[in-house]
Chain A
Amino acid sequence: MKYFRLIWANLLRAKRRTFLTVFSIAIALFLFCTLRTVITSFEASLRASEATRLVVRHGASLVFPLPLAYRERLVQVPGVNGVSYGNWFGGFYQDPKNQFAQFAMDVPTMFDLFPELVMPADQVQAFRSERTAAIIGKALAKKYGWKLGDQVPIIGTIFPGEWRFVVRGIYEGKTKDVDENTLFFHWDYLNESLPEGRKNQVGIYWIRVASPDLAADVSRRVDAMFENSPQPTKTETEKAFQAGFISMIGNIQLLLTIIGSAIVFAIMLVTVNTMMMAARERTTEIAVLKTLGYSDGLILRLVAGEALLVSLLGGLLGCGLAALVFHESDFTASGFFPNFRVLPETIVAGLLLAVLMGILSGIVPAVTAARLEVASALRKVA
């Protein structure tokens, strides 16, 4: 600790250079935390999936609807003990920038299929009994300041027009992985407002099976049942559905990992160069310290300590900024990333990466300084 002042004084020697180095590391670590959070938010949505819940959608694509009449046939499939359905609404609040997920749901069955949405009984009742009622997640309520009884106008894009909902319930997730940024309203309200040609069509059916072991068998049965109909189905577990949904935008995890690694590697090279310059400029001073009796090992630790301190400062700044930005903004990217928040393990990983960057960027200048021959270094000056 008694050498900290020496390390700190050396860092402040070229304040602008130190600031720029810390700042560039901070940017790299901020991006790392952001990209990592994209991955963890995907993983969170997978974790929130119920193993006994299956998703039934159109066999060709998610954008094609299924007939409402399928519901009666799904209920009769052996092993199925619950069916609900809904439509992705795809609207925004006041401005296209204010996007979040909205679903028109079959309210009588939705709480049976989605027990992870926790809400007081009176609010459930109020929601059920009013056709224009909606429930919203706690995070969404906080973001827009909505309270029970508020009228919320949503501009539809898939279903054009202004749709007005009354907030009758605010739900919380049973676990932290459950998305609290969604608005649910009555499927009947949507259906009755549609022109005749678009009525009685369902985007997704959710079916519950008695045990996870039945999932594969029930999926096969359902798809076989509609195989030769005009609207064939594709049935899979909710987890597989989420994973498939994510995979529609490619191998996002690999892509993000490559981008993140490239950024960190590029910044590390810049840091190595900076630290080497900083050490080279101080050749005489290092020789003087050695003359005073500072050992090679101590010189190595002092120079490496500088690199480590710079990286750690950058890491703290970058990771801290990411945690702050994505906590305060309730960023959801139009509802695409529910639960987009920087996890503590992401911060820890970011700081460990900063330490690794510090060690790797400091090792060359530190070893060079430690190997410096005092007499020849002093001779060059004299």
Chain B
Amino acid sequence: MESRNGNLVELRNVHKVYFRDRIEVPVLQGIDLTIREGEFVALMGPSGSGKSTLLNLIAGIDSPTDGEVRVAGESLGTLKPGKLAAWRARHIGFIFQLYNLIPVLTAYQNVELPLLLTKLSAKERKKRVLKVLGLVGLEARAKHFPRQLSGGEEQRVAIARAIVADPTLLVADEPTGDLDAKNAAEILTLLQRLHAELEKTILMVTHDPHAAERAEKTLHLDKGVLQP
């Protein structure tokens, strides 16, 4: 692992400012944060508090206005776009609230997408895809398209896609936000299993206190500031 002192995520004095119609909108204000390897962290906060922005910075799909974001031993601000994309492919598994599966691809093909970026052979890719589909209980649904799956099943396919390349860090942005209570519970159980059995480091943004209870640690963000 490339991290220092067992810290997988380190944010130092991170600021993020957006401009809306030339008006400066500060979203994150001086965030200092550390997540250790193997932790399952929930990030809570009201709408507009900057949770998703913080998640995007850690996932390397957005950049801070100021401060340093270091994940898996890499200072993300120093990476050029091409290197950053390769870094994401290697280290980040992203789970979206709305699943964001590609509708024209089957569950199998959706899960295979991250592996296309690797040098694995078609046979090796197949083996890994079927393995993770089995892990999320959807091996029998491999040939189904997203429209043929329930919301819970879609999210499980999305989780399979997020873990298939064995990333260093799983980030989940409201993974249960679009699901009913039963499916939400199943997804949270699955995330807990990934953390417990595969020792995945997970950062989960959520509104739901019940969801946050499944994590080991909960952070609160309000108006762009992490609460003590």
Contacts and interface: CB of A to CB of B under 8 A. Distances in A.
Contacts of B96: 288, 378
B88 A288 contact: no
Nearest to B85: A295
- Mostly, the B contact residues are helix
Contacts of A9: 102, 104-105, 109
B98 interface: yes
Nearest to B90: A293
22 contacts: A2-B122, A3-B116, A9-B104, A12-B104, A13-B104, A284-B100, A285-B102, A289-B113, A290-B85, A291-B88, A292-B89, A292-B114, A293-B85, A293-B114, A294-B89, A295-B82, A295-B85, A298-B85, A374-B56, A375-B53, A382-B98, A382-B173
A297 interface: yes
B19 to A, nearest CB: 11
A6 B105 contact: yes
Q: How large is the interface on A (under 10, 10 to 19, 20 to 34, 35 or more residues)?
A: 20 to 34
Interface residues of B, number: 32
A5 B89 contact: no
A292 B113 contact: yes
Interface string B110-128: 0001101100001000000
Contacts of A99: none
Given A295-B85, A375-B56, 12 more contacts: A3-B116, A5-B109, A10-B104, A285-B102, A292-B113, A295-B81, A295-B82, A295-B86, A374-B62, A375-B62, A379-B52, A382-B98
Interface of A: 2-3, 5-6, 9-10, 12-13, 284-285, 288-298, 374-375, 378-379, 381-382
Contact of A382 (B52, B88, B92, B161): B52
B149 interface: no
A288 B100 contact: yes
A285 B173 CA distance: 16
B104 A292 contact: no
B94 interface: yes
Contacts of B88: 291-293
B59 interface: yes
B61 interface: yes
B97 interface: yes
Contacts of B86: 293, 295
